[in-house]
A and B are shown apart, each in its own frame.
Chain A
Amino acid sequence: MISADMKSEEGDLDEDAINNFTCELGVLSQCDGSATLCNGLTAVLAATFGPVEVRQQRELVDRSSIEVTFRGPHGVEGVEDRRVEQLVRSTLEQCVFAALHPRTAVSVVLNVLETDDLLLLSTCVNAAVLALLDSSLSMKYLPAAVTCVPVGDRVLVNPLPSERQGSSGGSVTAVYDTGSERLVACRTAGQLSAEQLTSCLREARRAAAMVRQLYRRAVAAKFSKEPRDPWAGPSRAEDMPPSWRRLGGQQAGEQSTS
């Protein structure tokens, strides 16, 4: 588990944008890549499979087809969920080297654990990118999503609900290519003036560079860990489901209570 408290080698960057982030790669053992990302009160678990066999309907002869499945916090699917899927999918279609794996599918599953609605979209994009990083799929660049809220004449980056007092309800979620600093995707909510939008987009571009630091540290943390057998399951007994714990205890030669 890494958090923003860890000091980066680059040092002095002001890191307000990722203060509330925590993430961990490789949390699930049965998929090709997985990540959890918490951003304030929003937590998303992402898993990727691929390149895998593709459904004939979706097969593309020149590239891999990318499928995104989003499960909202309430369980009931709605049209809003399709919009989240659409944004994540179209972002990944741009950054993954899909042409390397023609006639296959890359599937990304996003599961929302907790949400405060505003930061959901950017957290989903970042979690999907972290999961793809974990699966080592080749990517052209790393997209980074940031949500900005204008309050008065200031712009807040990834604000917590308590910090957004006094905002008019407008927000901008922008996805940047962290290499070239160009805008990949953008979606606004609520009312904004043209000036507010411009300042939000510029602020988001600055903050996207910090999200890249988070990606870098997440990968560094993953490779600094002791290599673990993915079949071994959770290493600590308290992380195991009760049924596993019993089995594991017997294998380890502990006293059986039955």
Chain B
Amino acid sequence: MAADMRAIQPESLYKLHLECEERPDGRKLDAARTTVVTRGGITTADGSAFCRSGHTSVLCGIKAEVCTPATDAPPDRGWVVPNLELPALCHHRFRPGPPSEAAQTASAQLLQLLDASGALDRTQLCIEAGQAVWVLYCDLICLSHDGNVLDVALLALSAALTDLRLPSAEWDATEERLRVKPAQRTPLKLGPLPLAATLAVFDKETLVLDPAGDEEMLCEASVTVAWAGDSMVLLDKTGGCELSLEAMDRCIALSKKRSLELKKLLDCCTQSGEVEKGE
């Protein structure tokens, strides 16, 4: 019966669920899916992390390369290039080919979040001003897309940054060449990392944390709020129904709570370096 209704009238079925304040997967409205963070899975990358939230999983690998800073760029700053891929394997909605608009906007958002949070002081990526700086290519691949990819991707990126160990490099001024020692590696000094929480809006007022794929398709609007420590680094509500400011205030409070949970998860993962679970 429920299966028939899900196929024919998914919206009505979901409204029934909301009336009971329980979602189809058994969660409460303000509960997130079980989130798992694993760091350092890819040995060939300089830093890596794998994050899974429900059936959404994102793998992040960071590769550090040396380049000469461009003439119009600050000479003592390196670069961070996050790139989220939504390949055809992650969901039937995506087709092979050039990056979709969703992937492009998410990549731009990740870069904006990193810059706004000030988590990474890019002068740390300078080896010799004007001669050599590090470029961090952060490649994120979505392996399975079941809603809320940006939050999971950002968590993976933050975790991979804590896992990153840069090889020590020195600029030899007399020979004008770079000496890199891949065996000696040091971690970066990181500020408060950005962590995001997305809420889906139903019936103009009801807020649902961490929407799954089906919920994302059915919802009227979605709001993403990201925090770095105590300051908000992103509030993004693009499209969907209009919201009252009171609903917006509740979004901010709920997302703050979720970001604290994620921070706790990231902290224990940083200490032990092993798999950790959190609600």
A187 to B241, CA, bound (A): 15
The answer for the CA separation of A142 and B44 in the assembled complex, in Å, is: 53
| Chain B 195-246 residues near chain A, CB threshold 8 A | 228, 230-245
**Contact partners of B237 in chain A: CB under 8 A:** 183, 185-187
What per-residue 1/0 map shows which CB atoms of B85-123 lie under 8 Å from chain A? Answer: 000000000000000010011011100100011100000
Chain A residues with CB below 8 A from B104, complex form: 79, 82
Interface hit among B17-25, B158-166, B248-256, B268-276? B248-256
| Residues of B in contact with A, size category | 20 to 34
Task: Tell whether, in the assembled complex, residue B245 and residue A177 are in contact, meaning their CB atoms are under 8 Å apart.
Answer: no
Q: Given A182-B243, A187-B238, A205-B245 in contact, is the A193-B232 Cβ separation under 8 Å?
A: yes
A187 touches B101 (CB 8 A): no
CB distance from B80 to the nearest CB of A (A): 14
Contact B116 A177 (CB under 8 A): no
Q: A91's contact among B230, B239, B244, by CB below 8 Å, is which?
A: B239
A132 interface contact, C-beta 8 A: no
Please report the C-alpha to C-alpha distance between residue A191 and residue B241 in the assembled complex, in whole angstroms. Answer: 26
- Establish whether residues A79 and B232, one from each chain, have CB atoms under 8 Å apart when the complex forms: no
Chain B residues with CB under 8 Å of A211's CB are none
Question: A174's closest neighbor in chain B, by CB?
Answer: B237
**Which A residues lie within 8 Å of B234 (CB)?**
187-188
| Closest Cβ–Cβ distance, residue A139 to chain B (whole Å) | 14
Binds B, one of A13-21, A152-160, A196-204, A225-233: A196-204
Q: Nearest CB to that of A169 among chain B residues?
A: B116
In the bound complex, residues from chain B placing their C-beta under 8 Å from that of A41 are none
Given contacts A83-B105, A94-B240, A201 and B245 within 8 Å (CB-CB):
yes
Pair B235/A197 contact, Cβ less than 8 Å? yes
Tell me the count of chain A residues lying within 8 A, CB to CB, of chain B.
34
Which residues, 169 to 195 on A, are CB-close (under 8 Å) to B? 172, 177, 180, 182-194
Contact of A194 among B116, B236, B241, B252 (CB under 8 A): B252
* Contact indicator B232/A191 (Cβ below 8 Å): yes
Among A83, A172, A192, A198, chain B packs the most CB atoms within 10 A around the CB of: A83
Which B residue sits closest to A172, measured CB to CB?
B235
Question: Known contacts A79-B108, A83-B109, A190-B116; is A201 also within 8 Å of B238 by CB?
Answer: no
B160 → chain A closest CB, angstroms: 20
**Least Cβ–Cβ distance between A196 and chain B, in angstroms:** 8
Complex Cα distance, B248 from A187, in Å, reads 13
- Measuring CB to CB, which residues of chain B are less than 8 angstroms from any residue of chain A? 101, 104-105, 107-109, 112, 116-118, 228, 230-245, 248-249, 252, 256
7 nearest CB pairs, A to B: A90-B239, A182-B242, A79-B108, A191-B231, A82-B104, A188-B235, A79-B104
Residues in chain A within 8 A of chain B (CB atoms): 78-80, 82-83, 85-87, 89-91, 93-94, 172, 177, 180, 182-194, 197-198, 201-202, 205
19 more A-B residue pairs beyond the given contacts A90-B238, A188-B233, A191-B228, with a C-beta to C-beta distance below 8 A: A82-B108, A85-B101, A86-B239, A87-B239, A94-B242, A177-B242, A182-B242, A182-B244, A183-B244, A183-B248, A186-B236, A186-B237, A187-B236, A188-B234, A192-B233, A193-B230, A197-B232, A197-B252, A198-B249
